[in-house]
Amino acid sequence: MPFNLYTYIAKKLWQTKLQKKSIAAPVVKIAVGSIVLGIAVMILTVSIVTGFKNEIKSKAVGFSGDVVINAYTNNNSFEQEPLFMHAPFLKDLQANKEIRHIQPFATKNAIIKTTDENQGIIIKGVDKNYDWTFIKQYILQGTIPVFEDSVTSDKILISKTMAQKLNAHVGDKLLTYFVSKKQGADSIQNLGYEQRVRKFIVSGIYQTGFADVDDNIVFAHLKQVQRLNYWSSNQTGGFEIELKDYSTIDQQTELINEAVGQNVEAKSVKQIYPTLFSWLSLLDSNAFIIIALMIAVAVINMISALLILILERSNTIGLLKSIGADNGLMQKIFLYQSFRMLLKGLVIGNVAGVLICLLQQQFKFIKLPPESYYVSYVPIELHLHQLLIVNLLTVGSCLVMMLLPVLIISKINPVKTLRFK
């Protein structure tokens, strides 16, 4: 008996005209179609979830850094208590090899005004050490303002959302109103607060698609916030820290908290945006559910197709058994046919899924409302290891479950099948 006899017989059974005209033909097509649909959907699911998580995470981290250091306060507004620009703990942090960059910043609430419109904003003051890498890729008009230590700049960077609300353009002058605590005052009852006005010039317009930033944040010179708060040039609102490896964020946040000491706290970006990162973690659960459902559908269809093939070929099975074929050989024949169906579905499904992903990456034709999803289009990230995992899960699940229907072959009696042929 030749070693490849079962493959020879399986190919002949697959290629016969009877097979193509039988009731099994549409069932086989449905089974193959379920594999195609399942693989394509799983590839899209994994790619979209990965794209969403990385895109939104990069926006949150790009704006605020991985870890933010502020003076500890019960104040829930964006008004900050000052820290020293050369705080003692900075030496320890600069010696930390896991930290890539440290930059000072300060925030202040304000109302920005044009001739016809008013808009509540948060001024984010930064200096020449600020890393603009994240914002640069989202500049739509104008340029990023240049901030030097020697001169206080009146240039600001606003979002497209804000520019549309204010009907503002690059080069326009905008009046901005602040409420500041007077020097030496400690309460409103003591008339300790005053209104102050600044005129800023729009240097550029950006749009990240991250609503928390676009709806509120205006970038300005750190010296402006220092002056409005009556701080010295040696004071700032806090520090943003960029890590070399995001996966170490929890561990590094604990280490940074130990380094900064009392009355100062460090929060990771996950703690700053807890709702956002909770939503991202739910995406993983949704992806697992979708993958499980797609594999289940594929397995059920494959089992149904194989059962019909076996029952329809019961006479052939009986004939082969009568001339000496054992149950093992017959099981191999139908497992081989199952594998051919599975392989065909895998090839078409992978091509379809990867093609849709590449088209979306290139043309971004599937759009989303950024105010709800933080991005204006469906982000896609394809990774080879994820494709391999999806395919291996599908192949493994289907082949294991295929062992159940082929056990029926051992119950087929050649005498009875040939008698009623």
d(CA 76, CA 119): 20
Helix (H/G/I), strand (E/B), else coil: 273? coil
CB-based contact 119:176 (threshold 8 Å): no
Q: Measure the CA angle with vertex 113, ends 110 and 117; round to 5°.
A: 125
pTM: 0.80
- DSSP structural state of residue 375: S
Name the residue ranges covered by the structural domains of the chain. 5-58+277-419, 73-261
Tokens 């790009």, located at residue:
62
CB-based contact 209:191 (threshold 8 Å): no
d(CA 226, CA 230): 6
d(CA 278, CA 213): 19
d(CA 173, CA 168): 9
pLDDT tens by residue, the chain, 421 residues? 444 655 666 565 655 544 555 666 777 788 889 899 999 999 999 999 999 999 989 988 988 899 999 998 766 656 788 999 999 999 999 999 999 999 999 999 999 877 777 888 999 999 999 999 999 999 999 999 999 888 899 999 999 999 998 889 999 999 999 987 766 555 444 556 788 899 999 999 999 888 888 889 999 999 999 999 989 999 999 999 999 999 999 999 999 999 998 889 999 999 999 988 888 888 888 889 999 999 998 888 888 877 777 766 666 666 666 666 666 666 677 777 778 888 889 999 999 999 999 999 999 899 988 878 888 889 999 999 999 999 999 988 888 887 777 666 656 555 555 554 4
CB-based contact 279:379 (threshold 8 Å): no
Give the pair of three-digit tokens for residue 45.
């699911």
Strands 118-126 and 139-142: unpaired
Give the pair of three-digit tokens for residue 161.
């959302």
Helix (H/G/I), strand (E/B), else coil: 41? helix
Strands (E), 294-387: none
Q: What does residue 403 show for φ and ψ, rounded to 5 degrees?
A: -65, -25
Burial class (CB in 10 A: 0-12, 13-18, 19+), 283: middle
